[in-house]
Structure 1
Amino acid sequence: MSLICIILIRYSLHKFLHALFALFMPCFMPYALFILKQRFPLKDDLMKWVRDISMANNFVLVTTKSDSGAKGRKEYVILGCEKHGAYIPYREPDLVEGTSTQKTGCPFRLKGRRTKDDKGWWLKVMDGRHIHLAAESLVGHNYAGRLNSEAKEDVINQAKTWVPPRKMLASLKEKDPSNLTTIQQIYGVCKRFRQSVRGSLTEIQYLLKKLDGEKYVHFERNEPGSEVIRDIFWAYPNAVKLFNTFPYVVIMDCTYKTSKYKLPLLEIVGLTSTDKTYSIAFCYIGSETTEDYIWALECMKSLISDQSRLPRVIVTDRDLALLSAASQSLPTTTHLLCLWHINKCVLAKCKEYVGTDDFAQEVMDKWAELVDAPTVPEFEAHWIELFNMCKHKHKLKFATYCSTTWLVHKQKFAKAWTNHVMHFGTTTSNRAEGAHASLKLMLRNSKGDLATSWDASHSLTTNRHTEIVASFERSMNKIDHLFKTPFYTNIRGFVSIKCLKLIDAELTRMRASGGRCD
């Protein structure tokens, strides 16, 4: 029995010593790792060797002190654990909630110094103790994930072309699977790059410098009695040329959450003969008032060299300030309201006042017939039917909403009136919405400044212009097999492929109706 007790005691003691060794050995192991008589030809060789050894054992070393050897002093470098020293508050002595530190006063120190004959470097262990265990992983340790010069240059080049940081990180991991860089470090490199490009210029100074450098047409408006810029309007030079060539239809819409200042960004877009959307101009406005919109519209009008060729159609949503501004600034231009937004609003009110049953679907079908009515008498007949349907079911609130909110603007969206306007099928502001989506995809977040949003809009506009020029070339140099018939001989290569398709659709419709054209 006593023999069994002795065995159990020895076994337990062995396990205890083994656990104790496993716990404290990592703390003293570095001392033995760095004791050597080896010389290093260069300081960089010494630094690389030391850091490779420490990282292989899951410790991170950083430079705590160094001297370049100026004025006859001996050149040296002292390396310490990343947890060396103690946290010293920068301004406020009280700790701020959410802040933290990794400093624990770790005493580990290595010193690298030139040899007496100045032909190399030697290493001395000043203190080989770590008062903490080795890290389980070096992921998340700032120095371990530091970018070298080659990787940093690669990230900067990608930042110039608006590659998202997550894709930059994926690219680094693909090139080097052992890379420990985190997404926060990628963001830091991009931020420092943008700051270095701007230099000592303020945000607005940098923006104006870029606008002048790229030969943009731009206008600014100051706060009354102040030199503070309140509104800024800019247009890409090639977009101005397109606007003078294709001024027929203009779509305007505001988007939000594009910068940290929360200013509305008014984007004005048009369409080309090849059915491509191009951005005419961008404008940051202080507020969405009639006066602000009038200023933006006057800036847009000044882009057209021949004032007799102002836009024939302008498409917007139901912004009353914009409606008023357009009637004052563009009195001869037909103003259409976005039919998609109208139908969306009407459907929401139908669900609120009528319900979601089969009768509600019948009401919406009747609304669609009302909007699509080709003539004014048919429009009025459908409206009477819709009103009676709602009156019969005691749903007058819905009919009142349609009448007071939308039918007062019926000439701006009902086909009985809009079919008499050459709008090239543009009855919604979807093109502007698509342009907003493309811009926000490049911006990635709404925390940037005005200069950042300009950079994104400039890249987006230049890319669009390249695609538009390519569409012009395709129309002139490519011949669709459908249009090789003699009927198209005189216009092939002189009008766009989109136009030829529209003509062919009309030709097919005419032949289907017995050769008669209505």
Structure 2
Amino acid sequence: MQRGRKVRICASKDVCGIWNINKSFNSTVVEASGYENLSCIEKDCRNYVEKAQCVGFYFSIDLDDDLRLKNVFWADYRSRQAYKEFGDVVTFDITYLMNKYDMPFFPFVGVNHHGQSTLLGCGLVSNEDTETFVWLFRTWLQCMHGLAPYGIVTDQDRAMQNAIQIVFPNTKHRWCLWHIMKKLPEKFGYHADKGSIFATIHSLVYDCQFVEDFENGWRVMVERFHLYENEWLAGLYKNRECWVPCYLKITFWAGMSTTQRSESMHTFFDGYVHSKTTLKQFVEQYEQALRNKVEKEFQADFKSFSQMVPCASRYGIEKQFQAVYTISKFKEVQEEFTGKMYYNLVSVSEGLLGATYEVREDTYDRSIGP
């Protein structure tokens, strides 16, 4: 091997579990500018890969016509097993760092039984076009035995939307609410009534429980502030079923309305990888970061098995939740039960839109003690 020449040895694995080294080895030969510059033969590569193989580990490498690396996907055994339990809703966010090869890191993220972000596979891609996303999604779907998620949360990237429609036609696609709302100052900062517009949109998005209320309120807002010609706002309204909560509440989202899970996973990898990390360093640091992530999940598991949060009510159903839920999820349920104690149903009335419930909340001054 020529001194100073960098050669990446990679491999891919097909559905039947047979190592396919030929294509990857040829790529290595091309990068080394000939067989004479290699210090190993194809058999050596095969032996190395088989020695390093982990049970249940899956990866795929996409090469261009010149046998240069384009895209990479991988998922370890834990990620594949986690998808079986926590793959109902997945979030994608490709805004993470680019390494020195200009390949964005693309994590597939879900939520586990502790409410923690859990990794369901990773990709490094060379482009952010529809073709690349189709390859990535199809590879990930193949890795997960063809089982598509019920829901997907992403930003408004058009290429990603197109790929989702192609690969996951029956999956509910939700736009990240946070990415939309953070654009309000940019889109309306010039407007004389920007403060009132911000407040109105926030109220419509977060407070409307019924579709009719949202649509009526939206129409009033457009008329009041003369926003008829605002194309960005018109586009949001046209696609309101993709991001407005009252349209999406009938679908299970595992508590996710944004790509915050992906971003929290990005934060987790910070300190291990950065924009100058090489592919070899990336793999090594990725493994270290993942070990730490697994350790935190083990700690949460141990805490749930060894400790118990006492019930706050005498409801039998709360007792059932206490027995089967992890501590973190039971605390969420318990908060709902505790809140229920302070609410009293005053009246019920029937209307055209259904039943209306009048509820009164008991309040007290916390400063004077219990």
- The TM-score bracket by the shorter chain reads 0.7 to 0.9
Question: What is the TM-score with the length of structure 2 in the denominator?
Answer: 0.75
Computed over aligned residues only, the root mean square deviation of the Cα atoms, in angstroms, reads 2.8
Q: How does 1:93-492 map to 2 (within 5 A)?
A: 202-205=7-10, 213=52, 215=54, 216-223=57-64, 225-305=65-145, 307=146, 310-352=148-190, 354-355=191-192, 359-372=193-206, 373-391=208-226, 396-397=228-229, 399-404=230-235, 406-443=236-273, 445-482=274-311, 487=316, 488-492=318-322
Task: Tell me the distance in 2 between the aligned counterparts of 1:371 and 1:283.
Answer: 33
Q: Quick one: which of 332, 338, 351 aligns to 1:502?
A: 332
Distance 1:211 1:300, change over 3 A: farther
Shift of 1:366: 0.7
1:50 paired residue number: none
Distance 1:459 1:210, change over 3 A: farther
Q: How does 1:48-59 map to 2 (within 5 A)?
A: none
Task: Tell me the distance in 2 between the aligned counterparts of 1:389 and 1:252.
Answer: 37
Shift of 1:501: 2.2
Shift of 1:205: 4.0
Distance 1:360 1:374, change over 3 A: same
1:8 paired residue number: none
Shift of 1:441: 2.3
2:27 paired residue number: none
Q: Which has the higher contact order (CA 8 A, sep 6+)?
A: 2
What fraction of aligned residue pairs are identical, expressed as a percent?
A: 19
CA deviation map 1:249-296 (0-9, x unaligned): 111011354311111221111110110111211111121111111111
Task: Tell me the distance in 2 between the aligned counterparts of 1:370 and 1:211.
Answer: 57
Shift of 1:242: 1.0
Shift of 1:375: 1.1
CA contact (8 A) 1:253 1:429 kept: yes
CA deviation map 1:36-87 (0-9, x unaligned): xxxxxxxxxxxxxxxxxxxxxxxxxxxxxxxxxxxxxxxxxxxxxxxxxxxx
Distance 1:206 1:416, change over 3 A: closer
AA aligned opposite 1:374: Q
Query: Could you say which structure has the larger radius of gyration?
Result: 1
Distance 1:362 1:230, change over 3 A: same
CA contact (8 A) 2:309 2:322 kept: no
Task: Tell me the distance in 2 between the aligned counterparts of 1:459 and 1:396.
Answer: 53
SS in 2 for 1:381: helix
Distance 1:507 1:218, change over 3 A: same
2:41 paired residue number: none
AA aligned opposite 2:286: S
AA aligned opposite 2:327: I
SS in 2 for 1:283: strand
CA contact (8 A) 2:177 2:258 kept: yes
Task: Tell me the distance in 1 between the aligned counterparts of 2:128 and 2:250.
Answer: 31
Shift of 1:412: 1.3
CA contact (8 A) 1:270 1:277 kept: yes
- Segment of structure 1 superposing worse, 323-332 or 211-220: 211-220
Distance 1:509 1:400, change over 3 A: same
CA contact (8 A) 1:340 1:428 kept: yes
CA deviation map 1:107-157 (0-9, x unaligned): xxxxxxxxxxxxxxxxxxxxxxxxxxxxxxxxxxxxxxxxxxxxxxxxxxx
Task: Tell me the distance in 1 between the aligned counterparts of 2:253 and 2:223.
Answer: 33
AA aligned opposite 1:416: C
Task: Tell me the distance in 2 between the aligned counterparts of 1:343 and 1:400.
Answer: 16
CA contact (8 A) 1:346 1:402 kept: no
SS in 2 for 1:300: helix
Task: Tell me the distance in 2 between the aligned counterparts of 1:349 and 1:376.
Answer: 24
SS in 2 for 1:258: coil
SS in 1 for 2:169: coil
Task: Tell me the distance in 2 between the aligned counterparts of 1:329 and 1:485.
Answer: 48
Task: Tell me the distance in 2 between the aligned counterparts of 1:211 and 1:201.
Answer: 22
CA contact (8 A) 1:278 1:465 kept: no
AA aligned opposite 1:277: S
The total of aligned residue pairs comes to 307
Shift of 1:423: 0.8
